[in-house]
Every structure is written in C-alpha cells, then in structure tokens.
Structure 1
Amino acid sequence: MSFTTDLDFALRADAEDALAPFKNEFHFPQKNGKDVIYFCGNSLGLQPRNVEGAIQAELDTWKQEAIGGYFGGKNPWLFYQDYSKPTLAKIVGCHEKEVTVMNTLTVNLHLLMLSFYKPADGRYKIMMEAGAFPSDQYAVETLVKHFGLDPADAIIEIAPRDGEKILHTADILSSIEQHSSELALTLFSGMNYYTGQLFDMQAITNAAHKAGATAGFDLAHVAGNVPVKLHDWNVDFAVWCSYKYLNAGPGAAGGVYVHERFASDSNTPRLGGWWGNDEKTRFKMEKGFVPKTDASGWNISTAQVFNMVSLNASLELFDKAGIANLRAKSVQLTAYLEYLLQQLPNLRFEVITPADAGSRGAQLSLFFKERGKEIHDKMIENGIIVDYREPGVIRVAPAPMYCSFEDVFRFYEILRDHF
C-alpha cells in the first residue's frame, strides 16, 4: 500500500476495508459533540455495543433463576469460564484445554510463577527485560523474596545497549546462554508496554528450554493485538489481561495459558480451590483436591460471571472479524500512522517502537526529549485520546477493530495544524 498525505487516500482505504463496519459496534467518548480519536486501546479498549444486552441477560438470569442460574438460564454459570475458550484459543494459538479465564493479570502471574518457579541446586535466577511493567517487576521481586532470596542477586534484567531503547534478540539469547547453569525461569513481556517492542517469543522459549529453564510470558499488550502460537512455540505458561485490546472493560477477568504437557498432568503443582476441582467430584464436598486435567485446573474461586460477561461479548466480535484479518489491517494502519508522523518534523520526537512490522503491534511510542506531557495534554484537549508514560513517551495505538484510516489522517491533521 502506497501512502499519501491527502484525505482521499484515507477515505478510499476505509471504503476498501472489510473490517470497517466493526467501528459501528463500539461506543466512543465524545468531545465537543464529536467522537474522539481513540488511540488508547493499549490501556483500555472501548465498550462494545453488545455488552449492555449481555450483562442484562445475566441480570435477568439472576433475577429469574437465582441459584438456579448455575445450572439453568441462557449461559449456566457453572461453566462460565469455559465459554471464552474457543475464541481465546484462536487468538493466542493453543488448544482449548490449555486456556482459561480467572482472576486478574498479576494475581494469575503470581499463581503461575508459584507453579513453575522451582529454585534449587544453584538454579534459582529469573530473567526479564529491564523496564518491564512495574506490576511484573513487583511480582518477581516479591516471589524471590518469598523463597528467601535477594532480588539483586536472583533477578537478571536485560537492558538495551547504550544509547538505544529497544532490545536485540541476540542479546537476550546470549544472556540466557551465559546464565544457563543458574537460570530457573525467563519471564518477558510479549510486548514491552513502554517501547511497544514485540519480542521473539519462540526464540526466547527455545533458548530457555535449551538452558534448562522454564519460559513464561506476560501477554498484556499482545492478546487481541498480535496473533501468537503459544502451543506450537512450546511456551510453558502465559498470562494476560482482557481490558486492553480484548475490550472486556476495566478490571475484567484475566487469561491464563498452560501448555498441555503440564495442564493435563494432575501432579503439576498449583494452589487449588473449589472451581479447579474436577466437576465429577466437586459436589461430593470431600477432602482431597483433584484438579481438572486442563488449564481450568488452576481456577480457584467461583467464576466471576459479571467480570467475564463483557469479555465473552467482545470475543463474539473477534470471532466475526478474525485475529489474522485484524493483524493484517493493523500492520497497514500502523504503517500509515508512521508515514504521516514522518511528515511532522517540527514536533521533534523519535519513534522508539521498532520499524519492522514483525517486531511491533498496533502501538507506536513517541519519545519527546522535552514537553512530552504538555504535548500529550494538548492532544487530549483536541479530542485525541492517547496516553503518556514517563519518561517522555506518548503511546499512540490505533486498534484495528474500531479505528479507521480516517482516524489516523485526522490525528495527523490536528498535529499538523495545531502543534
């Protein structure tokens, strides 16, 4: 696709876009009586229009069935965590039995790390990227402290080379090899929240396994953004939230992936609870945890129906759109955004997200050496919803499900005329 700086190009691209109608399936905030330009799906996705009816359906079941809603009604609650599995399995590239929905992102990260981090015999270190999202840093720090270890010794952080902002895959792989005798776990973000860099998860997993370590990922910025193949890549475990690109609403239930070689093994250690117990024995009310032989064996508490209903509603749209189609549009939309940003030299920023489409998703991170927060605030005043992260980065993320080429052009037009 050859880009131009005129509006007609954007209008033609939207007219030819088979996914364009999905924009009408979402509610947009208003600014001065107009839809905002919403490039913040990497923080919180928009509300799908079908969510209201989906929530009302469960309210009606609760009202009409009460406790009977666990076994009756439109969507029996006993199996509510299972309804999202088919679509999530397609999005993250795994078998349905390898995925489940429960809790929230960092809670799930703690639970999975307790299953897969086993410090022993000099193999106790965890490797992650420097500058990972703070919640991941806190989780790893407190995990190693839980085992009586010193974070300064037990955590290896891989930083960019001097003067650079993104990591080289070669540096990650060489570090894994260098520390192979003492490495227990690699835990990288699938995509760095700050730079928008998409990591080579397959290569990292292969290197971790060769070193005798476990490979886990936080896919908060990947799920619903970039299709992955967790099962084929032999990833051991992964977690993600569903309120970003998956559009499931603030605080929505998180997702969990556990490779089948662990999920199907009832002896794989985990913290147990009633909802992870085999349904055939659950209601016998007996001692002795018998986990389900799939990822749902990590479920602990009763399914959070009203915290999952929006996810299921949003996944209906993903099923219709197709994650591969969304990715194809996203590559073009983000490339168009990058092209137009290159026509704005007066703003004096650096795009620190990798230029290679295979190393990024929908997000471009604009690094401003000065006035970044001021420029961000001015964007908000002009009806552009983006977010700011210290130090100096404005994150711009046109989610392909509901953002258009015209949105990208209007963004460029406002920056060109007012900044």
Structure 2
Amino acid sequence: MEMTPFKRNLIALSLFAAPLGVNAATQEDVVEHYADIAHAVFADSHTTAVALDEAIEAFTASPSQKTFQAAKKAWLDARVPYQQSEVFRFGNAIVDDWEGQLNAWPLDEGLIDYVADGYQAELGNAGATANIIANQSIQIGATDLDVADITPKLLASLNEVGGSEANVASGYHAIEFLLWGQDLNGTHPGAGERPYSDFAYGEDCTNGHCDRRREYLKAAADLLVDDLAWMRDQWADGNKDNYRASLLADSSENGLRKMLFGMGSLSLGELAGERMKVALEANSTEDEHDCFSDNTHNSHFYNEQGIYNVMMGAYQRVDGSKLTGPSVLDLVKDKDTDAANAIKTSFEQAREQVKTLVVSAEKDNVHFDQLIAAGNNEGNQLVNASITALVDQTKHIEKAAQIIGIDNLNPDTADHQF
C-alpha cells in the first residue's frame, strides 16, 4: 500500500523537535533563522512544483491512467511544503500580495472549463461560466477578451478579471480542478472524478477541447514554477536587494512582531476561521480548501505544521534533512521556563488535534467535507475541537509576545468571533 504524503512527512517530523533554550538566543538570531526557514520552505515548494510540472508534461505528452495518477500524486506532494509556507503570509506583505496568484480559493471553476448542470457560482460574477478552455474569446461584462493563446502570462492577467475574487485562473487550485474536476459528491464520500481522457488526443478525447485543456494545464504549472522561484529568491541569503535583506536590516523587534503576527493570524483568523469555522457553520463544501481532491485534511495539518515550525525554529525538508535553530520559544524560555513549557504544550496539543482530521480521512475514510455535514454531530465536534485548540494556541502566541516584550500584536481574526 502506497504511503501518503502526510504519513511520510509525519514520520520524518516525529524524529525531531526543537529543544527549549539549549543556547541563549538573541532576537537577531531568531529573526535570521526565521528567514532561513522561509527560504527552505519556498525552495522546497519550488522543487516540488518543478516535479509537478514535469509530471504534467509527461501526462499531457502521453495521457493514460498511469500518467494521470502520477500527476495527481505530484500535486499532492507539492502541497506539503507550500501549505507550511502560509505562516509567512501575514506580517510579510510581499508574501501576502503575491499569494493570491498561487493559492486563491474558493474559485468559480466555470471560468476555466466545463461544469455540471446546476453549478452554483458566486452571485454577480460575470466570468463564472466563461469557460476559457472552450472558447477563443470570452466576454466578462462589457469586455471581450482574447484567450486564443493560453500562456502563463494570459492566466496571470485573468485572475480577478471583472473584479471578482472568485475568478481564479492560475495556481494550485486551478491545477487541482483540471486534474480532479468538480467534486459533485457534496458531503458524501468521494472526490472529483475527471477522466484522463479529457486530455486525450484525437477521437479518444472526451468533453471536447482536449488540446486547449492540455495547454491550460501546462501553462498553469509553468506559471506556478516561475512564481515560486521568485519568492524563493526573495528569501535567499547574499542578495542585498531582496526581501530577506530588508527584513534583517529592520529592527529585530519588528521582525519578531512579523513572526508572531503571522503565527497568530494564520492560527486564528485564517485556519480556525476562514478555513474551518466558515465551512462548518455553513455546512458548505464550497468553502472547503482543497475541495476538488478531498485533500483538505492535509492542507489544514500542514498549515498548523507551518505555525509550529516558526515557534519551534525547526523545519523538516522534503529531502529528509532537518533545519533547526534559535526560536521564539528559546527567547521565552530565557525569561520564563514555565511559560515556555505551557506554550510548547499548547502547540503540541493543537498539532495533535488538527492531526485528527487527517486520521479521520486516512483511517476512517471520512474527509473534511463529510465532517462538516449538517447532522454529523461527531464530525462537527471533531472540527470544533480543532478550532478550539487553534484558539488556545493563539492565546499562547500572544503570551509569548507579552513575555519577550513585543507589543501591538493583535492577530487578525478575519472578523470571526470565537
């Protein structure tokens, strides 16, 4: 039985944990190591995106069930490091401003390709069923757009076309939709079931326009690789003009504030709020993160792992190597050992609780879209327990900030009440 990306990485991650305060760390050391972790995470995201691009090239050159499954596996593998990068979004505007082209969701997939009858799009979105793949030109409102030549540049230009955030033409989720297709199962078991023949040649093509579907998939993968290479380089050492240089040239207090704000905002407003609470309260699979592939459990877990990485100053790379160094937790322990232990406990409990969503999917075959179903009291409780653990984790992030003297934190709640 093939080991899932989650299981492979969980085994590796369990082999190490950052020790508390082994050596006295300075604030400057902690911020610099934070930049090292960011560079490693984005470098791994780029490496796995290259592997995805290569798998897509192989698939589109010779469409078959085997090459199709290899492309899907490469997509799942690519999500592992990328989801750990989202902790760098909040507090680092350069990442947050860039992230939408790679990971925007939910999306109106009818902009990209065919959709089932009864498709529910965002109200007022003029591009919700434009179907780029089926057309040489599309009309968004009063504007006619030439989409005959599907290139990375074209896809980038179509993001949020017509002013709707649901018009997502590029990134992981556009690729996910092309590989899996719509998940039409609602809160019942099952992911998208797109046939590989949607990319086939000649008479084997299903649902028409297979040549343009192949072109779209390749262009989206190429754009993903280019975007990740740019962000990787923004965190690279030795470049006096990139973002890393400006971060380290700023005060260490501001660097720590970015770190703590990033952890707290992903933990509370984004992961507990937008990605769990919204979907649960609305019982809405449309608000599920990796909705086409049913990979949301892993997406949530690796978001939490990214938060854990920053607090502990540790990251497990995709090649198996371990990156460890001075951490926020070290700074806390230098001032208050009991508080550091309580923070570490809260983080470990949150990670273990979010992991229950993975166990539910992989052991019990009950995925996130089933857990949030109306009437699934046990599943709802499991998601609620994860939300509660993330709220507690955020309180301990705020406690860490207080102990090491970082004020004006106020993690983003995304207007949610917890």
Query: Larger % of strand: which?
Result: 1
**TM-score above 0.5:** no
Q: TM-score, normalised by structure 1?
A: 0.31
Query: Larger % of helix: which?
Result: 2
